[in-house]
Structure 1
Amino acid sequence: MSLIVALVLLVVAVTSAWTIDRSLRGARWVEAAPGRALMVWHLAAISLGGGVIAAGALLTHDVLEHVMFRATGVSEDELHRVYAGGVELSPLWNATAAIVLAGMGVLVFHAAVATVTTSRSRRRLHEALEQNVTTAADGCDVVPSERLYAYCIPGNARRRSRVVISTAALQVLSTGELAAVIAHERSHLRRRHHRSIAAAEVFTRTAGPLRILPSYGAEVRRLVELEADDDAWHDAGRMSLARALLAMASPQHPSGSLAMGASATGERIHRMLLTPQHDRRLTSVLVVLAVVAAVIPPATIGLPALYLALGA
C-alpha cells in the first residue's frame, strides 16, 4: 500500500511542478500580478519537495512508523498495517532511506554553501561601505562613483539594511526618478526578496539535473523586480519609474545585493507603459490549487496516524 501511495505522490508532485512551470513561464497575467505568481512558484517548489520527501518517508516506513508511534502513542502493529500493509521488505526500505537521506544531504549542502557565500559577500559590501560612504540622502548611503547605480543590501542582527546610490545617479536623476529608485530598493528589503531568491537558487541547484521546475530560479529573480517596480510605481508614479529604469539600466551590481537595473529593463519599461490586465478570480484559483498541492504530501503521511490516534 505504501509503495502505491508513494508512487502516486511522486507522480502528482512532478506533474504539478511540470504543469506550473509551463503555465507560468511566459503567461501574460504574471506581469500584472507578480506577487501572486511568486507565491505560486514557491508553493510549486514546496509541493514538489514535500512530495518527494513524503514519498521517501512512506517507502522508508520503518522510520516513519517510529516517529508516528512516538508522536501519537498508537499501537505499532496498527501503524504498520496503515503505512506498510503488512509487507516486510527491510532491505528495500533501508536502501530507499539511504537515497532519501542522500538527497536531503545534497539540499542541505547547497543551502549551507549558498548561505555562507552570500553572507561573506554582504559582509564585504557592508565593510566597504563603512569606509567609502561620504554622506546620506533620504536615509540612503551615497558612494562617490562616476557610474550610475543603485542597489540594496539586506541587513542582519549586527548590521542594518542599506540602500546605496552613487553620486552620479544623484546628479542625473530628477526628484521623481530618485524617489522611484529609492522606493524600488526599499521594496526589495521590506518584502524580503533576497530570501525568495536564495530559496529558488538552492532548489534549482539541487533539482537542476532533473530539469524539474527549470524556470523557477530565473522567474523568481524576474518577478521580484516586477513586484518592486509595482511598489515604486505606486509611490513615485509610472513615468518617473520608467525614466529611472531607462537611466539606471545596467546588468552589473555587487554580489549579494539587489540592484535597480539588474534585469530585463526593456521589458519592465514596456510593462510600465502598457499595463497588463489579469483575471483576479483566475489567479486566486491558481493560488488555492497551489496551496492544496503543497498540503497534500504532509497530509498523506500524517492523517493515517492522526486518524488512529483520534480513534484510540
Structure 2
Amino acid sequence: MSVLLLAALAVILAWPVPVLLGRARWVRRAPAAAMVLWQSVALAGGLSLIGFPLLWGLAPFGDTVLDAAPAFITALADGSWIPRLEQDPWLPTRIAAATLALALFAHLVLTLAVTAVKTVANRRRHRQMVELLAAPPSERSRLAERTAGTPTRVLPHDVPLAYCLPGLTGSLTVLSRGLLEQLSAGEVAAVVTHERAHLRQRHDLLRLAFEAWHRAVAWLPTTSTAQGAVAGLTEMMADDSALAAHGRDDLIRAIVLTGEAGTLPPGRGEAPPTANIQGDGAVPLTLRLYRLLSPSAPLPAAARLAVVLAALCLAAFPLWLLLWP
C-alpha cells in the first residue's frame, strides 16, 4: 500500500499540482506562504520519486527502509540474495529498482553540489569584474550603501540598473550611474531596499535549489514551471519588503524606469550587463506592475497558516510512508 501511495504521490506532484499551483492567483496575496508550499511540493515530489522504487525494491529485506537497507547491502555483498530467488522471482527486478532509486538520489545530490559550486565560482568572477569597473564612490552611492546595509558599487552605465551579488563571506549591492542620476532619492531607496530583501531573505538559495532540481530532471517539464514560479515569488516578497518601508509610487516608478523584471544575476562570469540579468528567465514586468497597481488584500492569517501547515504535512507524508511499516 505504501508503494502505491508513494507512486501516486510522485505522479500527482510531478504534473497536476505544479501546473495548478503555477496558475493560482492567491499566491500573489501570500507569496511567503506560497514559497513554503512550493518547497514542500519539490521535497515531497523528490522523496516520492525516489521512495516508491526504493520501497518496492527493499520489501523482501525488511518492513521499513531503515531496517531493509542494511540487509539489502549485506545480501548483495555476500550473495545471500541468490537463494531468495526461489521464493521471489521478481528479486532481480527489485534489486534493479532499489539501485535505480539510490542512483537517482546520488544524481540529485551531485547536481545540487555542482550547481552550487559553479554558482559560487561565477559570482566570484562577476564580483571581481564589478570591482574593476566600479566608479569612485559619491555622496548618493554612500547614501545607497547606508540604506542597503551592505557594500555598494556603482557601475559607469547610463542605463538604470540594480542587482545584488550574494556571497559566502559578504554580499554586494550593485547600482548603475544611470540609476542614481535618473531616479529620485525615494525611488533609489525603494530599489535598494528591494535588493536588500533579496540578500536578507536569501532568495539566491531558494532559486539555487529549484535550478538544481530543474537541471537534474530536465525531462520533467513542470520543473521549469516551478523554477519560474519561485523566481516570481522572490520578486513579490522583495517588493513587499520595499513597500513596508517606502511609498508604492516610488517603487512603481523605479520598476518602470529600470525596466527590470528581476534582480538576481545569473553568475556566468560575463561582464556586468546593462539590462535585466535574470539567468533563469525574466519574471514578467507586467506581473509585478499589475500586482502593485491593483493591490489585493493580503490572504488572512488563518489561511496563510493553513497553507503552511498543509505544506508541512505534505513534506512529512512521504517520510512517514518510508519510515513506518
Question: Would you say same fold, with TM above 0.5?
Answer: yes
- Deviations along 1:96-124, one digit per CA (max 9) or x if unpaired, are 12211232233234223322321222011
- Once residues 66 and 39 of structure 1 are traced to their aligned partners in structure 2, the CA distance between those partners, rounded to angstroms, is 27
Aligned match of 1:308: none
- Once residues 45 and 270 of structure 1 are traced to their aligned partners in structure 2, the CA distance between those partners, rounded to angstroms, is 28
Q: 1:303 to 1:63 in 2, by over 3 A?
A: closer
- Deviations along 1:3-29, one digit per CA (max 9) or x if unpaired, are x42122120232245343233223221
Q: 1:183 to 1:60 in 2, by over 3 A?
A: same
Aligned match of 1:22: 19
Aligned match of 2:310: 289
Identity among equivalent positions (%) equals 31
User: Which of 38, 50, 58 lines up with 2:47 in the alignment?
Assistant: 50
How big is the shift at 1:278?
5.0
Mapped contact 2:120–2:167 kept (Cα < 8 A):
no
Gaps spanning 5+ residues in structure 2: where?
71-86, 146-151, 269-274
Mapped contact 1:151–1:164 kept (Cα < 8 A):
yes
Aligned pair 1:146/2:158, yes or no? yes
Mapped contact 1:21–1:215 kept (Cα < 8 A):
yes
Partner amino acid for 1:285? A
- Once residues 17 and 42 of structure 2 are traced to their aligned partners in structure 1, the CA distance between those partners, rounded to angstroms, is 10
Mapped contact 1:50–1:298 kept (Cα < 8 A):
yes
Aligned pair 1:183/2:193, yes or no? yes
Between 226-235 and 94-103, the greater mean CA deviation after superposition: 94-103
Between 246-255 and 225-234, the greater mean CA deviation after superposition: 246-255
Aligned residue pairs, count: 284
How big is the shift at 1:131?
2.2
- Once residues 271 and 161 of structure 1 are traced to their aligned partners in structure 2, the CA distance between those partners, rounded to angstroms, is 28
Q: 1:180-219 counterparts in 2 under 5 A?
A: 180-219=190-229
Mapped contact 1:185–1:259 kept (Cα < 8 A):
no
Q: 1:95 to 1:17 in 2, by over 3 A?
A: closer
Between 137-146 and 176-185, the greater mean CA deviation after superposition: 137-146
Aligned match of 1:298: 319
Aligned pair 1:273/2:273, yes or no? no
- Once residues 68 and 262 of structure 2 are traced to their aligned partners in structure 1, the CA distance between those partners, rounded to angstroms, is 54
Aligned pair 1:113/2:114, yes or no? yes
Q: 1:130 to 1:63 in 2, by over 3 A?
A: farther
- Deviations along 1:171-213, one digit per CA (max 9) or x if unpaired, are 1110110010000000000011011111111112223313345
| SS of equivalent residue, structure 1 residue 25 | helix
Aligned pair 1:240/2:250, yes or no? yes
Aligned match of 1:82: none
Q: 1:187 to 1:209 in 2, by over 3 A?
A: same
How big is the shift at 1:271?
1.2
Q: 1:64 to 1:97 in 2, by over 3 A?
A: farther
- Once residues 176 and 223 of structure 1 are traced to their aligned partners in structure 2, the CA distance between those partners, rounded to angstroms, is 24
Mapped contact 2:30–2:299 kept (Cα < 8 A):
no
Could you state the TM-score of these two structures normalised by the residue count of structure 1?
A: 0.81
Partner amino acid for 1:176? G
- Once residues 35 and 251 of structure 1 are traced to their aligned partners in structure 2, the CA distance between those partners, rounded to angstroms, is 19
Aligned match of 1:223: 233
Mapped contact 1:170–1:178 kept (Cα < 8 A):
yes
| SS of equivalent residue, structure 1 residue 156 | coil
Partner amino acid for 1:156? L
Aligned pair 1:11/2:31, yes or no? no
Partner amino acid for 1:68? D
Mapped contact 1:106–1:206 kept (Cα < 8 A):
yes
Q: 1:73-84 counterparts in 2 under 5 A?
A: none
Mapped contact 1:152–1:161 kept (Cα < 8 A):
yes
| SS of equivalent residue, structure 2 residue 153 | strand
Mapped contact 1:152–1:259 kept (Cα < 8 A):
no
Partner amino acid for 2:34? A
- Once residues 200 and 276 of structure 2 are traced to their aligned partners in structure 1, the CA distance between those partners, rounded to angstroms, is 15
Partner amino acid for 2:286? G
Q: 1:246 to 1:302 in 2, by over 3 A?
A: same
